[in-house]
Structure 1
Amino acid sequence: ARARRQLMGVYDPVLLQPLAEALGRLGAVHAWTVHGQGLDELTTTGVTEVAEWKDGAVRRFTVSPSDIGVETVGIEALRGGEPAENADALRALLAGATGPYRDVVLLNAAAGLIVADKVRTLAEGAELAAAVIDDGRARASLEALVRITA
């Protein structure tokens, strides 16, 4: 799809560097490949490894939940359930509920906002994402998507 900015989770940290380089060769101007504690996304269960493609090179670093001011949690705090339970959890999150689900969403949204060049830091990105959730824009966007795809 020739995405010029991309946040991509990978299942194996060995793939972080080669996939970041591949995204660069495919025309990305800014991309993060991420692997967090066995998950193919940024996580609040511990450290997330990142390979960032920007300015023609890859830079490696780590991200921690503390970068956005949230606690590290056990994986059980993020486990989903049945589809109806997951839908309820998403609705609660978009209605402003706080907790581990919101924290991991804020962390991943913050990374996406950095890659999109909307913010400079994870803390700024988490603050912006929280504002979008809290003022109802995130819920309104989901409702619009449901309407046009139903």
Structure 2
Amino acid sequence: SADVLKALGVNIEAPVATVEKSLQTVGIGFLFAPLMHGAMKHAIGPRREVGIRTLFNVLGPLTNPAGAKCQLTGVYSKALVEPVANVLMRLGSERVFVVHGYDGLDEITVTGGTEVAMLKDGKIKTFTIAPSDFGMEVRHADDIKGSDAEGNAKITRDILSGTERGAKRDITVLNASAAICAGGLAETIGKAVPMAREAIDSGAAMEKLEKMIEVCK
């Protein structure tokens, strides 16, 4: 979340030119919706005030201010997985993973199965994945429980530094693998798993974070 990135030291309010520089020189960047999105920024305040899920929770991933053609996005309901993939295809996306963990997470989970809709080559395929598909243990919900922004920032650094080797690393690796696959760098999530692990173990992922922090000051 934006709060966690801020706690990590990322300037989440960096101007477009700075984020563009980060993308070009580092390979990653963060676009803060309230600042970058002309329409959605007006809905963020009221959405928080309502305090319940509304149409805007679905619209967020569908209105990417960067116009990304490849993406990994999570939804809060299994019923939305395939419809959101279909909408993204109609909006011009080329390679997409839409996911929903059966434990309710809007991401790939390690506590059980995850519903996945994959858009590739103009076709959508829906399937289920589980931790065992990738040689990982099924974990308990408490094993991946987060904290506040500062606590989650520490968890992030522990994962990227190699200190955290358990469930939190596994869930990070799986979601990173899906993103790698969505980006076209691997044909399947399974083939991307070693790439995600290597990015962490080699220190490359941590280096990316530190460089983004520096560029976006």
Give the direction of change, closer, same or farther, for the CA distance of 1:121–1:53 in structure 2 (3 Å limit): closer
| Residue 144 of structure 2 is aligned to residue 83 of structure 1 | no
How far did residue 32 of structure 1 move?
1.1
AA aligned to 1:81 is: S
Identical-pair percentage: 39
Give the direction of change, closer, same or farther, for the CA distance of 1:19–1:117 in structure 2 (3 Å limit): same
How far did residue 149 of structure 1 move?
2.7
CA contact (8 A) 1:69 1:123 kept: no
AA aligned to 1:46 is: G
Q: 1:55 aligns with which of 106, 115, 121?
A: 121
Aligned residues: 150
Instruction: State the secondary structure of the residue aligned to 2:124.
Output: strand
CA contact (8 A) 1:67 1:122 kept: no
Instruction: State the secondary structure of the residue aligned to 2:139.
Output: coil
Instruction: State the secondary structure of the residue aligned to 2:99.
Output: strand
CA contact (8 A) 1:35 1:49 kept: yes
CA contact (8 A) 1:16 1:34 kept: yes
AA aligned to 2:67 is: R
CA contact (8 A) 1:48 1:63 kept: yes
Report the counterpart of residue 44 of structure 1 in structure 2. 110
Instruction: State the secondary structure of the residue aligned to 2:110.
Output: coil
Question: What TM-score do the two structures reach when normalised by structure 2?
Answer: 0.66
Structure 2 unaligned blocks of 5 or more: 1-65
Distance 2:189 2:133 in 1: 6
Distance 1:101 1:53 in 2: 27
How far did residue 2 of structure 1 move?
2.5
| Residue 95 of structure 2 is aligned to residue 30 of structure 1 | yes
Larger-Rg structure: 2
Distance 1:54 1:120 in 2: 10
- Where in structure 1 do 4 or more consecutive aligned residues deviate above 3 Å? none
Give deviations 1:110-143, integer Å, cap 9, x for gaps: 1111111111232321110111111111111111
